[in-house]
Structure 1
């Protein structure tokens, strides 16, 4: 029985579709929405105006404040989407490599299943994106990819 679902989101239409899928297909499970701010592509997804080309590698205090504000906006949108399906979700955000953070979070937080939007951003990976590919290979729990 699936009890704890993890839905990583980045603000893209496919991540919203993944959350809708989790809300519909797992009505009795607890859903956690995770947003990972990628240090190297923090503006990917809905926040393409998140300019970072002049920030130091670790980011300035202002960079972290912008990242936190963007993440909170995205997580609020996820809570609203879940509410549209009469569901409540837990939300959390982290900064780092999404491929690594998603797998580690699932391992550490007793997640039973991951529902992930599969982007396929790179031309050499037409089926699904690099994050989805790595998570699919490394996750120790079942994974549903939503396209």
Structure 2
């Protein structure tokens, strides 16, 4: 069995996180690995075609990032993960998860995958996007919709 030293758990702050965290913690215990958490706040998408006033969207971003940091810290405390091993980032999920993994020399990224079918599959998924950019192994934990 491959032994991992550093595991990064990508969390979304929803009900699927529990299953993802449990799977990652099981692997971490078997490997005696260090566990880190990452959450990515995606920037507001501006609709320039309809000339929407972007000011309200942009003003929410710092608040969303602060809320994410608070929730990430609370989750880390409940799991016994050191706060220094928590990463609250702003950007694209695939880009930021991959960047943190590379910078922190992560061996395994664990995230949830909803296993979409049809049109959603053609458009791609977060897990697929991370897979193509990840500098290490990736475990996509199947989440039932």
What is the aligned partner in structure 1 of residue 101 from structure 2? 106
What is the aligned partner in structure 2 of residue 91 from structure 1? 86
Residue 116 in structure 1 maps to residue 111 in structure 2: yes
Q: 1:131 to 1:112 in 2, by over 3 A?
A: same
Q: What's the CA shift for 1:20?
A: 1.6
- Higher-Rg structure is 2
What is the aligned partner in structure 2 of residue 144 from structure 1? 139
TM-score w.r.t. the length of structure 1 is: 0.73
RMSD: 2.8
Q: Kindly indicate whether the alpha-carbon contact (under 8 Å) linking 2:44 and 2:57 is maintained by their aligned counterparts in 1.
A: no
Q: 1:54 to 1:81 in 2, by over 3 A?
A: farther
Aligned residue pairs total 129
Query: Larger helix proportion, structure 1 or 2?
Result: 2
Q: What's the CA shift for 1:125?
A: 3.6
Select the residue among 66, 71, 74 that pairs with 2:68: 71
